[in-house]
């Protein structure tokens, strides 16, 4: 049986993944923000479900909680960076204060967790780090530039980390979901203020679409959790796992467009080559 450490298990995908792991007999340490959520989580599987309060933006607290989790359940086999929040608004509308706050949660928080768990994983030459990013970390969509930027950053951290730790026996998987039927769009979706009317037909559409689709998103968090377990159990787990038909559609469309641009401008790309050096000069 495996030991899990999952951030953001009060609801949504984090809770669904914790439930799925517990259902197969694993032990899960889940982080929450409220005491009521901690009590509800621990009741899922007394003795195997352990809740710890944590704000991932507090690096010192992350270190303490990770050490406590390791002391409580032993070596951590799977560490899942799931905690995060959303944001909508045009780039021009977004304050640097809001940008710093979102990066603190969505990028620096996962980085703090990664740094906290790696020493023990390196010592064991084992472990698997899972980063829940988003299709927004692969495909840009007006109105979600700041959120997408944090997920692009987490995608890069995960892919680079995979290269750095592969020789040490540690694996990394980035999970990029599309829309799922969680409370994310309703409770964790602040927006930029004040708004600028010129962006009504572009950036402002994103928030309206996300809120209109709330409760009708195409993805099931429970099925997503099962898909993650299947991927992580594979002999060669993926570096990137897209989840959902919408995620697949947007990612394929984005990559096809970039590939076309690269091909169209290939000659100009290659035109900057320096002149060959002349022997003896």
Q: What are phi and psi of 180, to 5 degrees?
A: -130, 155
Whether 12 and 18 have beta carbons less than 8 Å apart is answered as no
Q: Is 250 a catalytic residue?
A: no
What are the distances in angstroms from CA 25 to CA 20, 204, 234?
9, 45, 18
Whether 98 and 193 have beta carbons less than 8 Å apart is answered as no
Query: Which residue in the list 78, 147, 199, 250 is annotated as catalytic?
Result: 147
To which residue do tokens 């919408």 refer? Answer: 246
Whether 183 and 211 have beta carbons less than 8 Å apart is answered as no
Whether 62 and 116 have beta carbons less than 8 Å apart is answered as yes
What are the distances in angstroms from CA 76 to CA 27, 108, 117, 174, 210?
10, 21, 8, 18, 35
Residues recognised as catalytic = 147
């Amino acid at each position: 049986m495996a030991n899990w450490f999952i951030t953001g298990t009060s609801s949504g995908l984090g809770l669904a993944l914790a439930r799925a792991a517990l259902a197969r007999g694993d032990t899960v340490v889940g982080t929450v923000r409220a005491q009521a959520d901690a009590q509800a989580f621990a009741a899922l599987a007394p003795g195997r479900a352990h809740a710890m309060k944590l704000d991932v933006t507090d690096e010192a607290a992350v270190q303490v909680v990770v050490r406590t989790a390791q002391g409580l359940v032993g070596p951590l086999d799977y560490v899942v960076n799931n905690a995060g929040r959303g944001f909508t608004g045009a780039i021009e509308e977004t304050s640097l204060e809001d940008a710093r706050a979102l990066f603190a949660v969505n990028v620096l928080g996962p980085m703090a967790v990664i740094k906290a768990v790696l020493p023990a994983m390196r010592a064991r030459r084992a472990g698997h780090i899972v980063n829940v990013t988003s299709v927004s970390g692969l495909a840009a969509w007006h109105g979600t530039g700041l959120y997408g930027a944090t997920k692009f950053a987490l995608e890069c951290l995960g892919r680079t980390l995979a290269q750095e730790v592969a020789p040490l026996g540690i694996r990394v998987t980035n999970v990029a979901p599309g829309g799922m039927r969680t409370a994310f769009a309703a409770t964790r979706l602040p927006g930029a203020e004040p708004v600028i009317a010129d962006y009504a037909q572009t950036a402002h559409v994103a928030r309206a679409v996300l809120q209109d689709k709330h409760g009708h998103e195409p993805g099931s968090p429970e099925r997503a959790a099962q898909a993650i377990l299947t991927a992580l159990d594979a002999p060669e787990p993926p570096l990137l796992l897209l989840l959902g038909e919408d995620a697949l559609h947007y990612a394929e469309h984005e990559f096809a467009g970039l590939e076309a641009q690269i091909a169209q401008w290939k000659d100009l790309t290659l035109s900057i080559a320096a002149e060959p050096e002349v022997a003896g000069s």
